[in-house]
């Protein structure tokens, strides 16, 4: 039997209109290597809508960040704290980086829809 495939629809809230938002689908962890399937879109009205199609069923998490300065990476302080707004699936807070298990969801056919809210770990500079 062929592997089941599904659609993941993600709405990211909290971005400044006109900024770039990166949204990644992660499997097995939240590292850059585990989050290899991603899209980058421009926020309209503070929201970005992303659709990942033909995703094999499994356990995933979503990681997103607002690329305020347009350098295509999540900027951090010297201590590793994110400077730009970011968020994860699972409704996890931003007091600390969540584990994959905290942010994960099970994907089955035909798919799922979820929301990710962006927040800042540190005040604007």
- What does the pLDDT look like over 3-55, one tens digit per residue? 678 999 999 999 999 999 999 999 999 998 999 999 999 999 899 999 999 99
The pLDDT of residue 2 is 55
Instruction: Please answer whether residues 21 and 72 qualify as being in contact, where contact means their C-beta atoms are separated by less than 8 angstroms.
Output: no
Question: Domain range holding 19?
Answer: 5-117
Total of domains in the chain: 1
100 belongs to a structural domain: yes
56 belongs to a structural domain: yes
Q: How far apart (Å, rounded) are the C-alpha atoms in residues 38 and 22?
A: 7
* CATH code for the domain in which residue 83 is found: 2.60.40
Does 93 score more than 90 pLDDT? no
Task: Report helix, strand or coil for 47.
Answer: strand
pTM over 0.75: yes
Tell me the pLDDT tens digit for each residue of 60-83. 999 999 999 999 999 999 988 889
């Amino acid at each position: 039997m062929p592997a089941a495939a599904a659609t993941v629809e993600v709405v990211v809230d909290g971005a400044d209109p006109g900024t770039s938002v990166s949204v990644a689908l992660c499997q097995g962890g939240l590292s850059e290597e585990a989050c290899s399937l991603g899209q980058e879109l421009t926020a309209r009205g503070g929201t970005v809508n992303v659709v990942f199609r033909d995703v094999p069923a499994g356990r995933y998490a979503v990681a997103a960040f607002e690329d305020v300065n347009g350098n295509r990476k999540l900027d951090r302080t010297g201590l590793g704290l994110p400077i730009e707004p970011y968020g994860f699936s699972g409704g996890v807070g931003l007091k600390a980086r969540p584990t994959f298990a905290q942010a994960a969801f099970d994907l089955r056919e035909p798919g799922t829809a979820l929301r990710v809210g962006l927040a800042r770990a540190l005040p604007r500079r």
